[in-house]
Amino acid sequence: MTAVEDTPAHRFLRSLGGLVPRPKAILVASAHWETSIPAVNTPARNSTIHDFYGFPRPLYELRYDAPASPWLAQRTAELVQAAGLPCAADPARGLDHGAWVPLLLAYPETDIPVVQLSVQTELGAAHHLRLGAALAPLREEGVLIIGSGSYTHDLRRFRGARVFDAPETKDVTEFSDWMNEKILAGDLAALANYRKLAPHAQDEHPTDEHLLPLHVAIGAAGPAPKAELLHRSVEFGFLRMDSYLFN
């Protein structure tokens, strides 16, 4: 619903395109494409995947049919493989909502080529830091690397009352404060082991596919990443929507 509702996160994402130089192409690691090994999408042109159900009709009418980028898909695969990891290609895959929702708001003209990168949830955080590190050269080649997920993502709590501006719960604050401290310090060892070290980690992420794109972005910033907190907001008291800019 971030795509269509006037929330703090919506307003922030609408400003995102003006916060960084216009990229030559965009690589998005999305929480909503899970595979056993890293993969890139390679369609002739990106389609819009509406990978959700039960939402208002206007959401299903949105399209983000950005150009594909054979060059970026091939370059990404080469870098991943050079780092000793496999990389597959999926010519049928379009852009899921983890990719097109932020891009629709940040770059509504749909004129920048986009490639999507999958996550491997079973391989954990350290793997995704390594995956991101393999992609670091893209930053010098005009590519914007985006990790799109959710800072906290315990959707089980939607079974209770839904009040958008509910006060943030203590566990969400404690987890988010720990993450923020480690991100700003560039503490890769702690971030790789966040599920054991961060307070309430397994409550905020019962499964961690929604945090792993953040690890890809951190890894791509190099061995000593410098982070800036660009946005901080909470929805329903338990969904944190924080966003960082690296290096």
Q: Where are the beta strands (DSSP E) in the chain?
A: 25-34, 39-41, 88-90, 114-119, 143-148, 227-231, 234-235, 239-240, 243-246
The model's pLDDT over 162-202, given as tens digits with 9 standing for 90+, comes to 899 999 999 999 999 999 999 999 999 999 999 999 999 99
β-strand pairing of 143-148 with 25-34: parallel
β-strand pairing of 39-41 with 25-34: unpaired
Predicted pLDDT of residue 161? 64
The model's pLDDT over 220-236, given as tens digits with 9 standing for 90+, comes to 999 999 999 999 999 99
pLDDT band at 219; cut points 50, 70, 90: very high
What count of other Cβ atoms lies within 10 Å of the Cβ of residue 174?
14
Predicted pLDDT of residue 183? 98
The model's pLDDT over 68-90, given as tens digits with 9 standing for 90+, comes to 999 999 999 999 999 999 999 99
Asked if 138 contacts 216 with a C-beta cutoff of 8 angstroms, the reply is no
Predicted pLDDT of residue 35? 98
What phi and psi values does residue 135 have, to the nearest 5 degrees? Answer: -90, -5
Predicted pLDDT of residue 188? 98
What count of other Cβ atoms lies within 10 Å of the Cβ of residue 220?
26
Domain boundary assignment for the chain: 8-246
The model's pLDDT over 104-163, given as tens digits with 9 standing for 90+, comes to 999 999 999 999 999 999 999 999 999 999 999 999 999 999 999 999 999 888 887 689
Average pLDDT, the chain: 96
Spelled out in words, what is the top-level CATH class assigned to the domain 8-246? alpha beta
Which residue is listed with tokens 């943030």? Answer: 168
62 has a pLDDT exceeding 70: yes
- Rounded to an integer, what distance in angstroms lies between the CA atom of residue 231 and that of residue 13? 9
